[in-house]
């Protein structure tokens, strides 16, 4: 798939996913209030934060595909990392309000319309599953899109849990099941959100992306034909789907354009590092800079 075609396809996936989920959030809020369901409102809050997350991810995706210009010599690729951080913060805020409502209703039970909860949440399972499927292909190459895929897949599971809650309330009449399910939803959201938040902060601080073993990168460079030593090795994320490396290689015989191209190809194929800046030195004390790739 060409880059431009992938961009268009992913853009359509975001547009369709945002539209479907935005309409569904409105339906959930309406019926959550009508049925007095904390679980349904909790799911609506979760979905609302995910809609915003999808929106910011889409915006960041579009910005990241703009060509570098002016003072932004790397382009705006890092906007995808900032989008991930913002998405996590929005989810934390949503969790706070969901928990506040659930705690109140746990101490002050109100009648819950089990049938309405089941029907609306059941629709949510279908919508979230469809949305997740829109990102199946793109999530293999982009962590930002992968985040959208995982969120939608989790939403489908959470909505399924709400369906079960509605069924149990209808069969048993126990109103406390509704806020308890809300706490289960909160636990699921917090678990996924904390991981997203930590990963995003690490990328923002130029940590080595967790899918890359820097020891293996160092080993591969040190064992490359003609290389005596690899030092000043740095690996960081340009965006949620692009990784960069800079390194000094001691090559006593020197390294030409083909040598640099071969090293870059190895880094790209083995570690998915697409942007490499390599400085070749004939010895440790006398560095000679060659063409950078």
Segment 115-126, tens digit of pLDDT: 777 888 888 889
Query: 195 exposed, middle or buried (CB, 10 Å; 0-12, 13-18, 19+)?
Result: middle
Both 164 and 256 in a single domain? no
Q: Does residue 233 share a domain with residue 156?
A: no
Least confident of 32-36, 106-110, 233-237, 286-290: 286-290
Handedness of CA 199, 231, 228, 292 (dihedral sign): positive
**CA 45 to each of CA 55, 209, 217: distance values in angstroms, whole numbers, following the listed order:** 15, 30, 42
Statement to judge: residues 114 and 259 lie in one domain: no
219: tokens are 């080993």
The CATH number of residue 178's host domain is: 1.20.1510.10
Same domain, 161 and 238: no
User: Could you tell me the CA-to-CA distances from 280 to 65, 224, 230, 272, 275 in Å, in that order?
Assistant: 31, 13, 10, 21, 16
Residues 178, 106: one domain?
yes
235 pLDDT exceeds 90? yes
Distance CA 139, CA 235 (A): 22
230 strand-pairing partners: 249
- Where is the domain boundary, 204, 239, 267? 204
pTM score of the predicted model: 0.68
Q: Which of 146-155, 200-209, 233-242, 261-270 has the highest average model confidence (pLDDT)?
A: 261-270
Q: Are residues 176 and 219 in the same domain?
A: no
Expressed as residue numbers, the domain containing 150 is 3-204
Structural domain includes residue 288: no
| pLDDT score at 143 | 63
The confidence score (pLDDT) of residue 236 equals: 93
Total number of domains constituting the chain: 2
| pLDDT of amino acid 77 | 76
Query: Is the distance from CB of 273 to CB of 244 less than 8 angstroms?
Result: yes
Asked whether the predicted pLDDT for residue 197 surpasses 80, the reply is: yes
User: 140 in a domain, yes or no?
Assistant: yes
User: Does residue 2 surpass a pLDDT of 50?
Assistant: no
Q: Please identify, among 173, 204, 235, the residue that sits at the C-terminal boundary of a domain.
A: 204
Residue appearing with tokens 């083909």: 258
Last residue of a domain, one of 204, 222, 242: 204
pLDDT tier for residue 114 given thresholds of 50, 70 and 90: low
- Give the DSSP per-residue string, the chain: --HHHHHHHHHHHHHHHHHHHHHHHHHHHHHHHHTT-HHHHHHHHHHHHHHHHHHHHHHHHHHHTSPPBTTBTTTTTTHHHHHHHHHHHHHHHHHHHHHHHHHHHHHS-----HHHHHHHHHHHHHHHHHHHHHTTTGGGT-HHHHHHHHHHHHHHHHHHHHHHHHHHHHHH--TTHHHHHHHHHHHHHHHHHHHHHHHHHHHHTTPPPTT--HHHHHHHHHTSTT-SEEEEEEEEESSSS-EEEEEEEE-TT---HHHHHHHHHHHHHHH---EEEEEEESSSSS-------
């Amino acid at each position: 798939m060409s880059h431009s075609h992938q961009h268009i396809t992913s853009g359509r996936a975001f547009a369709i996913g945002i539209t479907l989920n935005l309409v569904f959030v409105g339906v959930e809020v309406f019926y959550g209030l009508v049925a007095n369901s904390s679980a349904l409102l909790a799911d609506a809050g979760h979905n609302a934060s995910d809609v915003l997350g999808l929106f910011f991810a889409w915006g960041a995706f579009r910005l990241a595909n703009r060509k570098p210009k002016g003072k932004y010599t790397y382009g705006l690729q890092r906007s995808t990392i900032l989008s991930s951080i913002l998405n996590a913060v929005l989810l934390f805020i949503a969790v706070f309000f969901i928990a506040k409502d659930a705690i109140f209703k746990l101490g002050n039970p109100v009648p819950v319309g089990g049938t309405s909860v089941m029907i609306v949440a059941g629709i949510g399972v279908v919508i979230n599953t469809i949305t997740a499927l829109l990102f199946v292909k793109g999530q293999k190459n982009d962590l930002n899109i992968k985040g959208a895929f995982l969120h939608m897949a989790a939403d489908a599971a959470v909505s399924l849990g709400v369906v079960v809650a509605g069924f149990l309330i209808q069969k048993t009449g126990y109103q406390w099941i509704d806020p308890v399910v809300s706490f289960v939803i909160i636990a699921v959201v917090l678990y996924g959100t904390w991981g997203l938040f930590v990963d995003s902060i690490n990328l923002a601080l130029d940590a080595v992306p967790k899918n890359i073993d820097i020891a293996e990168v160092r080993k591969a460079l040190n064992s490359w034909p003609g290389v005596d030593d690899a030092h000043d090795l740095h690996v960081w994320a340009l965006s949620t789907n692009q990784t960069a490396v800079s390194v000094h290689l001691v090559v006593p015989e020197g390294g030409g354009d083909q040598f640099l191209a071969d090293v870059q190809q190895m880094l790209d194929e083995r570690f998915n590092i697409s942007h490499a800046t390599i400085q070749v030195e004939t010895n440790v004390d006398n560095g000679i800079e060659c063409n950078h790739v």
